Structure 1
Amino acid sequence: MQHNTIQLAVIDMAGTTVADDGLVVEAFDAAATAVGMPDAGPEREQARQYVLDTMGQSKIVVFRALFRDEGLAQRANAAFEDAYAALIADGRAVPIPGAAESLSRLRDGGIRVALTTGFSPDTQAKLIAALGWHDLADLVLAPGPGVRGRPYPDLILTALLRLGADSVHAVGALGDTANDIESALRAGCSVAAGTLTGAHDERQLVAAGATHVVSSVTDFADLLLKG
């Protein structure tokens, strides 16, 4: 990779630029309780493990797989969004150390930045507002009509189209889960990097095909800027 060949950085939020600290699982537990899942026992434990294994995916997709009933999935998703929004309002959303500075350094270095998530657009907007990150990225994206969540490549390809990178090879992506890596590889990114600040460990990220594993978003910014 030569210096300045990366024109666009597509970067995940929870677990990558925003500390998770169990917030997703906490919101999931609230959602599961809201739709009548037992508070303890094998069903709850298996569902919680599935949530951990599928970190990075669109949450409605996760709930559809868990409940196999569209009505239940929609109710669970709404309860999850409400619970996560309450956690944000309580001040529980905090940035990964160095995240804001890293995003600014990338942009100052001529690399456009898109922040992506598996949350809904509304929850992403609340997260951005709570962090005061309105002007920190060139684009923020969440799954929605015509844009599938991870592991599909849609978020990355949509960012490329909207921000005008010359090709998928000029895109570097960063996330903390195997689904982030798979999405980046499907999109054709030349850098499909995993970070160790979130849900999945180095073994899981490497097994998913990560081209690089970094300690944090700070190291990712260094990687792209140094070439």
Structure 2
Amino acid sequence: MNRISLVCADMAGTTVSDGGIVEQAASVALEECGIPAGSSGHDSAMSYIRQTMGQSKIEVFRAVTSDEDTAQLANASFERNISALATDGRITALPHAVDALKALRDKGIKIALTTGFAPATQDAILRALDWETLIDLAVAPGKELRGRPNPDMVLHAVLRLGIDDVREVAVVGDSVNDVYSGLRAGASVVAGVTTGSHDANALRKAGATHVLDDIGQLPGLVGA
């Protein structure tokens, strides 16, 4: 295995428990766009949202709504509601996450947290957890960065943090989209964790180089 200089870790389901606020905010967003809870359209959209956890939320809303204006309205509602919900105490660190991040940094490994949320939402979650000083970089999709399954966020972290070789990168996440993103970026370690969206079978099928019970096993894997 290559020496690991950077870990790109997903947030919800990997390092963070969202306490159900992601689905709650998504459900409200659909309702505000005229897709009422209990309808077949709402049920179908929520099923798709669960299946595509880890993807950029605007891309998900584009897939489940009828046009760009509605998708933008849904995304704005989602981000507004989840930012508000982020402060209600339901967002917590997953077991072993803080210790794992500290162990990585103690060994000189840089940490970038990636997400499918908008930057403002990511910032709200980091503030709620008091994690700003625990990481080196927070990366979210935006106008110049595509969300997962594209490799943009990982490659952005590589450039911003001065990593010389993508083979010195480990990517860890709970969804197949995290795996796809890491593989497309050329990371030498693309680890799935079974604490979130997808099970070990799905993560292996997507191409994960390793499947872990939780992020607490990552420091041992990458030599921290």
TM over 0.5: yes
TM-score (norm 2): 0.97
The answer (yes or no) to whether the contact 1:31–1:80 under 8 Å persists in 2 is yes
Between the aligned partners of 1:83 and 1:207, the Cα distance in structure 2 is 34
| Pair 1:188-2:186 in alignment | yes
Shift of 1:41: 2.8
Structure 2 residue corresponding to 1:129, chosen from 117, 122, 127: 127
Aligned position for 1:70? 68
Deviations 1:19-44 (A, max 9, x none): 13432111111111111102113211
Q: For the Cα contact (< 8 Å) 1:33–1:39, is it kept in 2? A: yes
Structure 2 partner of 1:26: 24
* 1:224 match: 222
Higher mean C-alpha displacement, 163-172 vs 119-128: 163-172
Equivalent residues of 1:59, 1:118 under 8 A apart: yes
Which range is displaced more, 14-23 or 120-129? Answer: 14-23
What are structure 1's unaligned runs of at least 5 residues? none
Structure 2 counterparts to residues 1-227 of structure 1, below 5 A: 1=1, 5-225=3-223
- Counterpart Cα distance in 2 of 1:34 and 1:53: 21
Asked whether the equivalents of residues 172 and 178 of structure 2 are also in contact (C-alpha less than 8 Å), the reply is: yes
Distance 1:22 1:195 in 2: 18
Give structure 2 stretches of 5+ with no counterpart: none
Equivalents in 2 of 1:127, 1:68: separation in Å? 30
After superposition, what is the alpha-carbon deviation per residue over 1:167-192, rounded to whole angstroms, capped at 9, x for unaligned? 11110000000000000000011111
User: Is the deviation greater in 150-159 or in 85-94?
Assistant: 85-94
CA RMSD of aligned residues (A): 1.1
Letter of the 1:126 counterpart: A
- Using the TM superposition, give the Cα deviation of residue 68 of structure 1 relative to its aligned residue in structure 2, in angstroms: 3.5
